[in-house]
Structure 1
């Protein structure tokens, strides 16, 4: 039943309870047994064993596992030793450990949701007031609420006196909602407009009430959010999809090459197990064993860099995904705005309206603020850390904050004019009155509230029109307008009814309040726009407020439109996908709406980041490619559901995180380019030499040493390279865009060919050609020369892939660790080949001077070829732009 749409009597009848007695203790216990506790159900977490088993679905791990098993079988059969299978198994264990450790950052969103509720609440049972655990309330319990209470469960109001509830964690609306038990609400209104309801987890900021609980646990609005969190599935990140495609491509190449190698060898009469060993070697060559390790460590370095810029990454893939972000769906309250009501404008009759700042309050406006603060109930209280904090309604807190900025001590006004009486605010009256004793005798009556509800003294039409025009101007800018009237009286009513003093009031002035934009938000949105990123505001606040803020931060122009949750709900999912690009501001939306918006953008192929701080944002944060929560104002629910937390709650920090994410993606792309050239050339060398009948040019342990030391260490340094400074001038990487876009396939093919030619030439020279000063041609000499050329060309290749510019144009000083790594690796590998006992472990033999000269000479060839290709490409690109510019000039002259 939609309890907001029925009378109190009907709700009590439906729930079979009585407002004065509540449920009996026995009936409450029966309902608790039947319907369960008032708690949120949590999805069963994935076990560590399940995570480990899932790693065996990874193509690279499967290939390595098969290679390790065959290598172990051959070691047992042939008695070759166990170094090769042990090394392969160690790499598998390392990859899996990293993956499982990353995933064990378990989901804590539902635990945080549970913590939102107060551990106990006050209810009526059998006519007695009982304090019980929140988990024990049931439908039909009569809940007693007062200022400072958290609502235990969703409830229909029965009685409410001056009740205001902060629902920002649920709806995103920054201002407390004034409740009214007597109204009936349409059945299809948003949560924020259900004025006769209170909701689980929300805070009572003023007044007291009696309400009958109508939903508990997963049936509450908070419970529904918990359900969305359980059921929302995270899409694979762009990085995961791209890495999977690379793995599938390599596995297909490896399988085809291994099959061709095995078939060709058997056709030539080779021994079966020897060919199996060759096929295993080819499989090892195909897999870049260090790729997962390099990617993980690169993302970890990105996390450290982002933490230095006040962005805390909770999930590793989010680092790269941020770099691909093309749409930021941002919550308004606390993200684009300060989540703090502020007096923006004031007007005193007979003067011009004044833009108010906390640095400058003077003259008539200062007197107006003084009187408004007297008629307010916000107070200063110790904050527990030696300071003070303002406690009270958001509007009254803003007034007190402005008063303090004027240099007036909070208690001085009350001491001079102590309050002697009050008529509390109520949603029906839309105003409150306070009465203060004057030092000279008599009393000052102050009434603040809605402009059209305060009984001002009669004035001429022109004055009234001026006041109304000013009120409408404030309201038209989405400001909340508070008016103040005053009156001096000599005595108080004998009846004691202070409402008798509310009449013939002198108009003092009006103020306009709003939750203002963050000062850096507009600039951040402009920066994002230049980077090709679309910003969309999604809020539970009113449409007029959302539009005003959106215009102030440059999100929409003066003619920009706002779409409401009701309009959104009238659309089908297909209509939303078709039209989602037309909307930049959404207002009065529900948690379900936020998920639909995120998914609509994802259907259009966009990579979506969702920012937010409230419980209402959590499901969409989880559904988005990157969920971004606020660290200071954010709830624990939002933080637990997010991929990234902004430590300083600064929207501009997202832009810096995107910059770092793009740099990470660029580095990973270059690393994959580097590793693919190395691994593909190893495959071709292995296959070519075997099919040519030359024998196996590299053993599995040699390949592992190259892949880990010659490729892995330089690859890791490359993945931590600095950006070129132009990275935010490029468009975001598309969701489906390949790592190999932009002609990278051609470059990889050219480099692979160059690598293959020099490597096979080195093997042929060592195995079949006599070189001066050496021991003569042999398979071991050929393998040693091939091993060194493959390793050295890989190390030198790292400098080629750093930039499209010439290797001679980038200074080595901007990545000294890369340079020293390259020098160190070349030195270590040379020592292995020079020192016979060490080399024997890996099947290497000492070389003569001529052999070393061939090794170094051949190792330089691929780098020189790459530089020539770069020079040609850069000249062609420059010529293309020159012709394009000339064409535009000719068009302009015509």
Structure 2
């Protein structure tokens, strides 16, 4: 019961010094004792369980039943082939499931919460899974608590503990309190912080007292288990498509069986044919292939610094046409540098240091900051780092200042107030240091410093300050003011920001990222409108936006003040007139997103703060900053940028479009192949011809063409030209832009040419297709021809499916090695089946002569060749 122990006892029991934290040796020792800081989820499905789950399908049950029947009547070879196909198909399914799970696990690790920990006297950010009891954790607003802590320091600290207590109102924490009660409820343990709860205000420090399953959250870990098997909208649509195709396929098979009955065919053979055709016609591998393509796709996206947390976001990315981005760090380099200071006199950063009149300004900026800068290494917010660095360059070391003037209280920064205040100890009194937006400071400042004296500030003085600030902003400088007041006794945070004396302000620059200009151009050519949303001054924002090509007129800028005076209807009606939203609050962001969505736009929104969570959730794609973002923003987002770079958003959209297109290619390819098999069988029955393919042959072809080539198409390399097209309409049918025609044409060609090969073989031997007494050897040879044409034509056709418009030479014949390998393997297996005697006997095929191989390969190339010719005509018409 750590809440009953005081701070000193807690620290002693855990053998740690708060100022230094644990040593590396202590961390290793504690990890051996307590293990990793993670909750145990649901037990993983074993390989056997995964294998069995692959067999839980009605069609598989029917196939197994068919295998049993063939075994009973003595058709052992057929039974073995059917069982082999079922088992091999299940093994491929297990492999696909394994790959998808591994990819998702990797993503979960990358998006896991971080913790700010002090070890070996240094503050560093690590994965929360690495924490051990005794670690000293630093807390600030927006961070999730990574383990159970005994608080050792708190300043206006408030933690939202609804995950444990159900109470939505944040709990106020006080590290100095020691509780006596034996059974103090969690909600009343004011000196404790618990895993998975959220810091909403203030800051503090705590020592880890419990990790993993020993935490309060660990005790209810089973409740926290998440179901990660939820299907994406695309997978749901494809599952419905599969069911529809299944109903159609089974209906066709019943019809085939009925016709065969009246035609007095071998009913058992037709029964097996109907079952095999149903298995071939229903693309049962769709869901697995889509899952693995999505999972591998988002893993690939993580390598370009975009962690997609939710698979449906991949689909949505392809439809994004409005990208709302913050300025600082996303469009700019996030490397702030103070280049000007003003306190009535203007100093510009040159080789000369500022005169002593700026010392108080720099001192307040440093003491009212949480950034650190030692030996050239900086931590903290880039704006605060810039302030600490300029002071250090003028012999004002932050560590020395903090040691001499310790902070005793504070009022943390708030995005509504746009101010931060601290109360620091002077020799015999206290001083309040305030920094923040100049316009906000001027509202609460009553005095200024003039010639070293504190004098009353007039409205004329305020106008003069604002005029200088405006000129700085016009040069893309970020302006930050500083003020102070002296008090004789310690005061409450709510009393800090009044009757202030303005010390002056600084102008900082954060130059645009060099690569963003090209990304903005790419976005525009892709039909995407980039929007800048920032808390910075209007003129500063416009200067950056103009340099990046986001806006070209100051009239395209709307301020938060203007927004407050607009009705929702006015904002919706005028939203397309603006490209920059400056001086906005997080609440304004929600209004902006809703206004764009009211026009049917698909909106992406970036955010990093606690208050950005509503706008991230409101947007179709919420994008959190991985470096500067709080845990709250990361939790609310669909995607996390590990480099906080706007360019990554555009690359992620491009990747999302390519992933969707790859899935589309795989699905159309599978449907074309399956349709070809159905057409070949159904046509032969309707015309009273012999069946061109035996059940085992159908199952074999379905196995080698439905798996590897489809997956290879699904992970095809990206096409940058996808960014020259408009975003996809999310309501658009999966078979839009002639995709249905592509599937029908491909299926008809594959099925028709399979029948042609069968017909040619019989006809060239001098027999008619309707002859009742065809020689068995001729029938076997003809089926071998059809068997090879069907399999190889599907494999070749996959090459043409790589792009619906470009030729195979434009995309690069060998640029997808996995697909080339799949085709080569498929052909090799096909050759093996008809050339190796025991396999040829099993599949009832015969070796082909050299001229027959020439004929089947020539016929098999026709679907691909015709598809390429059609694409060529389409390109020519498009150019005309």
TM-score by length of 1: 0.65
Residues 583 and 375 of structure 1, relative CA distance in 2, 3 Å threshold: closer
Q: Is the 8 A contact 1:71 1:277 kept in 2?
A: yes
Alignment equivalent of 1:372, drawn from 358, 361, 377 = 361
Partner of 1:843: 844
The SS at the match of 1:742 is coil
Partner of 1:20: none
For 2:262 and 2:49, how far apart are their aligned partners in 1? 38
Partner of 1:828: 829
For 1:423 and 1:313, how far apart are their aligned partners in 2? 42
For 1:524 and 1:242, how far apart are their aligned partners in 2? 33
Unpaired runs of at least 5, structure 2: 1-38, 115-127, 129-142, 155-160, 177-184, 191-195, 206-215, 218-223, 436-440, 492-499, 768-773
The SS at the match of 2:505 is strand
Alignment equivalent of 1:558, drawn from 538, 541, 555 = 555
Alignment equivalent of 1:686, drawn from 681, 685, 695 = 681
Residues 614 and 705 of structure 1, relative CA distance in 2, 3 Å threshold: farther
Partner of 2:387: 399
Q: Deviations over 1:611-660 (max 9, x none)?
A: 43445555765676555433323344544555543222222212122222
Alignment equivalent of 1:744, drawn from 723, 739, 758 = 739
Residues 664 and 418 of structure 1, relative CA distance in 2, 3 Å threshold: closer
For 1:542 and 1:381, how far apart are their aligned partners in 2? 21
The SS at the match of 2:730 is coil
Larger relative contact order (C-alpha < 8 A, sep ≥ 6)? Answer: 1
The SS at the match of 1:681 is helix
The SS at the match of 1:202 is strand
Residues 527 and 375 of structure 1, relative CA distance in 2, 3 Å threshold: same
For 2:833 and 2:411, how far apart are their aligned partners in 1? 86
Residues 95 and 413 of structure 1, relative CA distance in 2, 3 Å threshold: closer
Q: Is the 8 A contact 1:110 1:637 kept in 2?
A: no
Q: Is the 8 A contact 1:551 1:558 kept in 2?
A: no
Q: Is the 8 A contact 1:237 1:321 kept in 2?
A: no
Residues 675 and 398 of structure 1, relative CA distance in 2, 3 Å threshold: same
For 2:794 and 2:775, how far apart are their aligned partners in 1? 27
Partner of 1:120: 150
Greater displacement, 472-481 / 848-857: 472-481
Q: Is the 8 A contact 2:364 2:433 kept in 1?
A: yes
Partner of 1:648: 643
Partner of 1:863: 864
Q: Deviations over 1:702-726 (max 9, x none)?
A: 2232233245333333334334442
For 1:123 and 1:496, how far apart are their aligned partners in 2? 21
For 2:754 and 2:163, how far apart are their aligned partners in 1? 73
> How many angstroms does 1:830 deviate by?
1.8
Q: Is the 8 A contact 1:614 1:638 kept in 2?
A: yes
For 1:727 and 1:559, how far apart are their aligned partners in 2? 29
The SS at the match of 1:115 is coil
Partner of 2:394: 408
Listed as ranges, the matches of 1:42-191 within 5 Å are: 62=57, 64-65=59-60, 67-72=62-67, 74-75=69-70, 77-80=72-75, 81-88=79-86, 90-92=88-90, 94-95=92-93, 98=96, 102=100, 115=145, 119-121=149-151, 143-144=173-174
Partner of 2:798: 798
Q: Is the 8 A contact 2:709 2:823 kept in 1?
A: yes
1:783 aligned to 2:783? yes
Q: Is the 8 A contact 1:257 1:282 kept in 2?
A: no
Partner of 2:201: 202
Q: Is the 8 A contact 1:434 1:446 kept in 2?
A: yes
> How many angstroms does 1:312 deviate by?
3.4
**Number of paired residues?**
732
Q: Is the 8 A contact 1:326 1:533 kept in 2?
A: yes
Unpaired runs of at least 5, structure 1: 1-42, 125-131, 147-151, 158-168, 171-198, 207-216, 219-228, 355-359, 438-444, 487-491, 499-504, 880-894
Q: Is the 8 A contact 1:342 1:398 kept in 2?
A: yes
For 1:466 and 1:284, how far apart are their aligned partners in 2? 83
Partner of 1:322: 317
For 1:515 and 1:468, how far apart are their aligned partners in 2? 26
The SS at the match of 1:561 is strand
Partner of 1:453: 446
RMSD: 6.1
> How many angstroms does 1:684 deviate by?
0.5
Listed as ranges, the matches of 1:352-363 within 5 Å are: 354=348, 360-363=349-352
Residues 239 and 270 of structure 1, relative CA distance in 2, 3 Å threshold: same
1:528 aligned to 2:523? yes
For 2:186 and 2:530, how far apart are their aligned partners in 1? 35
> How many angstroms does 1:341 deviate by?
7.4
Partner of 1:852: 853
Listed as ranges, the matches of 1:873-884 within 5 Å are: 873-879=874-880
For 1:418 and 1:547, how far apart are their aligned partners in 2? 37
> How many angstroms does 1:736 deviate by?
2.0
Q: Is the 8 A contact 1:380 1:389 kept in 2?
A: no
TM-score by length of 2: 0.66
Residues 604 and 98 of structure 1, relative CA distance in 2, 3 Å threshold: farther
The SS at the match of 1:790 is helix
Partner of 1:30: none
For 2:162 and 2:660, how far apart are their aligned partners in 1? 50
Q: Is the 8 A contact 1:610 1:628 kept in 2?
A: yes
> How many angstroms does 1:532 deviate by?
1.7
Listed as ranges, the matches of 1:313-712 within 5 Å are: 313-315=308-310, 318-319=313-314, 321-330=316-325, 335=330, 343=338, 345-349=340-344, 351=346, 354=348, 360-363=349-352, 365=354, 367=356, 369-376=358-365, 378=367, 388-389=377-378, 398-404=386-392, 407-411=393-397, 450=441, 452-457=445-450, 465=460, 468-472=463-467, 474=469, 481-482=480-481, 509-512=504-507, 524-535=519-530, 557-562=554-559, 585=581, 587-589=584-586, 594=590, 606-617=601-612, 626-639=621-634, 642-712=637-707
Alignment equivalent of 2:274, drawn from 274, 279, 282 = 279
For 2:697 and 2:615, how far apart are their aligned partners in 1? 49
For 1:265 and 1:631, how far apart are their aligned partners in 2? 64
Q: Is the 8 A contact 1:64 1:92 kept in 2?
A: no
For 2:366 and 2:705, how far apart are their aligned partners in 1? 71
Q: Is the 8 A contact 1:531 1:729 kept in 2?
A: yes
> How many angstroms does 1:786 deviate by?
0.9
Partner of 1:225: none
Q: Is the 8 A contact 2:697 2:787 kept in 1?
A: yes
Q: Is the 8 A contact 1:606 1:735 kept in 2?
A: no
Partner of 1:17: none
Q: Deviations over 1:319-375 (max 9, x none)?
A: 454334334455667655777876464335355x75xxxxx4454746555442334
Q: Is the 8 A contact 1:770 1:777 kept in 2?
A: no
